[in-house]
């Protein structure tokens, strides 16, 4: 599917574009959701309202649906990409900048994501972030 099929997620598009670009030719597909395996395991290593582990592409899309109802990302930058294990593992460090929609508070955060690739798709994702920055933005 092309990115026009994901207009409901446009509030996170800078993030999706950054990640898709970081993975380059290691994955197949145009949009972030196109490069996620149907049975992906998406794990977050923090407690801020997301499930700790999301199983499956459909559940991940549903979680991002809630995310874009709460936060609008205006940019993503400071990208550092490290490939390991012949490109089977990719470590992506990046910053996101946006707005908490309920309050208008500024949202700036830093992430480190460890991504495992199999058959041209993301099969496993482990996410780390600056939990304090998120907590502050959500509690303004």
Q: What is the pLDDT along the chain (140 residues), one digit of tens a residue?
A: 445 689 999 999 999 999 999 999 999 999 999 999 999 999 998 776 778 999 999 999 999 998 899 999 999 999 999 999 999 999 999 999 999 999 999 999 999 999 999 999 999 999 998 655 555 656 66
pLDDT of residue 45: 87
**Residue whose entry in the numeric block shows the structure tokens 């908490």:** 100
The closest of 6, 26, 12 to 121, measured between CA atoms, is 26
Q: How far apart are CA 140 and CA 134, in angstroms?
A: 10
Do strands 121-129 and 36-44 pair parallel, antiparallel, or not at all (unpaired)? parallel
Is the distance from CB of 130 to CB of 102 less than 8 angstroms?
Answer: no
């Amino acid at each position: 599917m092309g990115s026009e099929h994901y207009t409901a997620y446009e509030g996170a598009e800078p993030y999706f574009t950054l990640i898709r670009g970081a993975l380059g030719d290691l994955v197949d597909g145009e949009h972030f959701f196109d490069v996620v395996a149907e049975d992906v395991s998406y794990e977050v290593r923090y407690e801020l309202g997301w499930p700790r582990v999301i199983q499956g592409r459909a559940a991940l899309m549903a979680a991002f649906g809630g995310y874009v109802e709460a936060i609008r990302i205006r940019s993503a930058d400071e990208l550092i990409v490290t490939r390991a294990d012949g490109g089977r593992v990719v470590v992506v460090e990046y910053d996101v900048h946006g707005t908490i929609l309920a309050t208008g508070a500024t949202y700036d955060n830093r992430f480190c994501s460890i991504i495992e690739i199999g058959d041209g798709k993301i099969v496993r994702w482990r996410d780390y972030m600056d939990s304090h920055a998120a907590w502050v933005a959500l509690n303004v």
